[in-house]
Structure formats: structure tokens, C-alpha cells
A = this chain, B = another copy of it.
Amino acid sequence: MTRTIPAPTLDVDRVRADFPILARLVNGHPLAYLDSAATSQKPRPVLDAVREYYERHNANVARSVHTLGTEATEAYEGARAKVAGFIGAGSADEVVFTKNSTESINLVAHAFSSMAADPRFRLGPGDEIVVSEMEHHSNLVPWQLLCQRTGAKLRWFGITEAGRLDLTDLDRLVTERTKLVALVHYSNILGTINPTATVVARARQVGALTLLDASQSVPHLPVDVGVLGADFLAFTGHKMCAPTGIGGLWARADLLEAMPPFLGGGSMIETVLMTGSTYAPPPARFEAGTPPVAKAVGLGAAVDYLRGIGMAAVAEHEKRLTAYALDALATVPEIRIIGPTDLVDRGATISFAFAGVHPHDVGQVLDAQGVQVRVGHHCARPTCARFRVPATTRASCYLYTTTDEIDALVRALAVVRKVFA
């Protein structure tokens, strides 16, 4: 996330031309897609890469000497190398393809057990896992389930009223008893970008592993696992211009090596006898069954696309949008932002409450104007509870978002006022 070199600017009109869906009308209005934190739209080069894969090279991978199979394998492994490069991984073998972030996180959770051979993954009563109150359910429920299985205890960082991670208790929360700290890098509900370095340093001090839920950061910020210093990184393709159905887990090679298999089946084995099996080295060990080959190809193409534009340019574009949106929303008296209201360490995902109107109704009225925002708890119910709201309205931007769309949002909010006056 170093943004010292002036970022090349992004030509949003040219970018938009790559995304066919953006030309659509919704309820008679131009689409204003402000829900990229839920899922991003897909550019033509990604759709073309997937289509071309199916029309020219489709075959199963890894077990073939035939030409199509070899091409498919190279496309799949080539995508892995691209993804590894994109996040600064030392080796492609440190990237496991999963179906989404959620599976990535569950995969790590299932490496821990009372019977784990490696002490770093051995977990039982007396051990602790630390998360935060601003986790997406996907980085909370797997740890709750793990604690139920093992008797370990779940603890968590709070959130300040300003929407920041509350690190006051860092040294009291992350202790010798901590085996893992699992933290969201960039909150999908508050827009907060967390000071992971501080937390990772403390975890390392006490010998705990660290997992970053980078579902929102990998799509929106330059991310380098070397710089972050964490042990695990989970991310998901569909939020970064790639198809649904493909995600990734990056982990240090020595940790992957130490982890037992999770799903059993084809491709993850070394030798299989009826009486027992041995397992392939990572990453194959964690990719049981036919992988989402075409989706991996799509993710590779998405990475190429994002690299072509430059992640620094993407981040810079979104920073400008954040500033614009925060200013624009400040003109709507009914609105209270839930999350940071300044530009420091925050992204272009903005949640708010509209006085007197439930987010469901806000979202409905906005939809009638073509403005697509998400309303609800955004899979972060505890965060809503922390801010004493049942739900929020959330507008979120991406590289193709324009200030016009933010203007459309503000105009549509005036209609909300009118309908529910």
C-alpha cells in the first residue's frame, strides 16, 4: 500500500468501455452500479479469455498427455503463476485455488485440530484465536466452528466509534495463548483499512500465526504478501473482475507443507490403496477434484487486466471517488456515515444510515432510479450490532465508477426523502 510514486491516472471512460454490462438501463435509468464490494463487474478481456478457453482448449487438467489436456494444464498453472505474481508470492506453489475466500478461510481453519502433527496447528482448550468485531461472517463463523470442535476460545478486537480497529487491548488480547489472529484487511462494511502491520508484529512476538482476509484489499489496493508479513492471505476472484467460483489462498510454503489435507479426492493424492493413501505436495494437496479451470483462466485474465491499468492507478482513482462521495453525502442531512469519515486508511466503500428510513426502503427507492447499492448487514452482523443499526445502506466503487454515478446516488436519495416524508 505504498503510494509514494504519483500514480498514473486512470481513464474511466476507456475502462467503462471494457465492461459491457455498464451500458445497461435499469428501470429506465442508466445503471449506476455501486455494489462492487459485493461483486465486481467483468471486463470483456476476461469474458473472452474464458470463452476462448472453452472454444479452443477445454479439457481436464493434470492427468493428461493429450494436447487439449496439456493446454488446459498450462492455462491453469499459468493462471496460478499470474496470481502469485500479482500478490507478490515467492512461488506459484504458495497459491492454492479455491472456490472463494470463504473456502480459503475454512481450509485454514480445518488445518487446526487437537490431533495436528505440527504444533503450530494443534489447538485445544486454553488456546485462543483472535478476530475482530468487523469481520465478514466468512472470517468469523469458521473460527467459531473451529473453537466448538476443539475447545479453544475465540476473542476479538472491538471497533472505535469512528469505525477503526480498537487496538487499545492489543497486548492483552494477543498473548502467548493465541495460536492465530485472523483479521480483515479492508472492511467490506466500514471501508476501514486496518493497520495489519501492528497486529502482525504483535502476533509474531507471541508466536501466533496470522491470516488476513484480503477479499476487499486484493481487488482494490496494491497488495504484496512480502510487505504484509502475514502467514495466510485469503482472496476471491469475483470481486476483482474475475468470474464467480474461483478464489485463492496464499500461505507460506512451510505452512502449506505442514497442513493436512482438507477435501479428499482426485488430484490431491500421491498413492491410493484401499487401506490408506498418501497425499500430494501443496498446492495440489488442497485442490481435490476437478478444479474450476476456466475460472482460473478468467482470474489470470483479470489479473492481467488489473496490472495493465495498474493497481496504484486503481487505488488512486478510488481515493478520489471516496473524497468526492464523502463530500457529496455530507450534503444530505439525513445521512450518518457508519465508518471513517476521513480519507485516512479508508476505501471507497461507504456505509450509511438514512434517518427514519430503513435501508431496505432506501435501497428500493434507489433501485427505481437505477442506482444499485447493497442494503443489509453485509455479512457483518456484529459490526451492525456494534453501531446499533439493524442494517446499513452501502455504496461501493471500483475502477469503473464515476463521479456521475455518485451524483446519481445523491439525487436518488432526495427521492427517498420524498417518498418517506
- Kindly identify which residue among B58, B105, B265 contacts A106, using a CB–CB cutoff of 8 Å: B265
Which of the 9-residue segments A21-29, A83-91, A173-181, A322-330 touches chain B? A21-29
Does the CB pair A290–B238 fall under 8 Å? yes
On whether the beta carbons of A272 and B20 are closer than 8 Å, the reply is no
Smallest CB gap from A37: residue in B: B60
Given contacts A102-B266, A141-B264, A382-B272, contact A364 B65 (CB under 8 A): yes
Q: Does A385 contact B (CB under 8 A)?
A: yes
Q: Which residues of B contact A382 (CB under 8 A)?
A: 272-274
Q: Is the CB of A289 within 8 A of B39?
A: no
Main secondary structure of the interface of A (DSSP, over half): mixed
Please pick, from B154, B271, B372, the residue contacting A66 in the complex, using a CB distance under 8 A.
B372
How far apart are the CA atoms of A274 and B277 in the complex, in Å?
38
Contacts of A272 in B (CB 8 A): 137, 140-141, 381-382
Q: Which residues of B have CB within 8 Å of A103?
A: 99, 263, 288-289
CB-based contact A273/B385 at 8 Å = yes
A271 to B20, CA, bound (A): 37
Interface string of A260-285 (1 = CB under 8 A from B): 01011111110111101100000000
Q: Please, which residues of chain B bring their CB within 8 A of the CB of A27? A: 67
Instruction: Check if A210 is an interface residue, CB within 8 A of chain B.
Output: no
Chain B residues with Cβ under 8 A from A207's Cβ?
none
What residues of chain B lie closer than 8 Å to A290, measured between beta carbons? 39, 100, 102, 236, 238, 244
**Which residues of chain B have C-beta atoms less than 8 A from A109's C-beta?**
264
Q: Is A220 an interface residue (CB 8 A)?
A: no
A363 close to B65 (CB less than 8 A): yes
Contact for A265 among B59, B105, B246, B274, CB less than 8 A: B105
Interface size class of A (residues with CB under 8 A): 35 or more
User: Nearest chain B CB to A93's CB is how many angstroms away?
Assistant: 21
Let me know if A68 and B381 touch, CB within 8 A. Answer: no
Residue from the set A263, A373, A381 with the largest chain B CB neighbour count within 10 Å: A263
Is A77 on the interface with B (CB-CB < 8 A)? Answer: no
Chain B, residue nearest A27 (CB): B67
Bound: A69/B37 CA distance, A: 13
**Cα distance A27–B238 in the bound complex, in angstroms:** 35
Q: Does A17 contact B (CB under 8 A)?
A: no
Closest 3 CB pairs of A and B: A102-B289, A245-B292, A141-B264
Known: A142-B265, A144-B277, A273-B381. 9 other contacts (CB 8 A): A20-B55, A35-B59, A47-B55, A51-B51, A64-B374, A66-B373, A244-B294, A245-B245, A274-B382
